[in-house]
Amino acid sequence: MQDDKRLSQFLTGKSVHTLALYNHFISEFEKIGDIKVEPTKTMIGISNSHKRIAWITQLGKNFIHVVFPFGQPYEDNLCFQKVGQVPGQQQFNHHLRVLTADDINEEVFGFMQIAYNEG
């Protein structure tokens, strides 16, 4: 299945608010560098030229949920609702719930840059 068709399946039927959040998140990532949006069976991957650097795991009624896989935990933050290590791996998933465009603030943008640069 083509990526465009699979992506449209994720976005179809979502609220105007959720689509605006999704588009804002993608456009903010594009300010950092070239990215590729890669829909999978259950989520939307965001990749730089090397690897996946973030996952949009849920497009809710009024939010998007994003997971950043980092090689270390960033516990000292105000933006992530959960930080958890993937069992048996040196990967720490950082969970971000975006409710408004303003949630992509300076702190979140900084983590987006770290994800892009580490990828």
The Cα 26–Cα 28 span in angstroms is 5
Question: For the whole model, what pTM was predicted?
Answer: 0.92
Find the distance separating the first CA and the last CA of the chain, reported in whole Å. Answer: 26
Q: At what angle do helices 106-118 and 16-32 cross, to 10 degrees?
A: 60
Q: In the prediction, which pLDDT does 9 show?
A: 84
Q: In the prediction, which pLDDT does 5 show?
A: 72
Q: In the prediction, which pLDDT does 1 show?
A: 43
pLDDT tens figures, 51-99: 999 999 999 999 999 999 999 999 999 999 999 999 999 999 999 999 9
Residue 2 in this model has a pLDDT that exceeds 70: no
Q: In the prediction, which pLDDT does 4 show?
A: 72
Taking alpha carbons only, the member of 24, 45, 43 closest to residue 35 is 45
The runs of H, that is alpha helices, within 12-118 are: 16-32, 106-118
Q: In the prediction, which pLDDT does 85 show?
A: 97
Antiparallel, parallel or unpaired: β 64-70 and 92-98: antiparallel
The Cα 88–Cα 110 span in angstroms is 27
Phi, psi (deg, nearest 5) at residue 61: -65, -40
Percent over 70 (pLDDT), the chain: 97
CATH topology for 3-118?
Answer: Aspartate Aminotransferase, domain 1 (3.90.1150)
Percent over 90 (pLDDT), the chain: 83
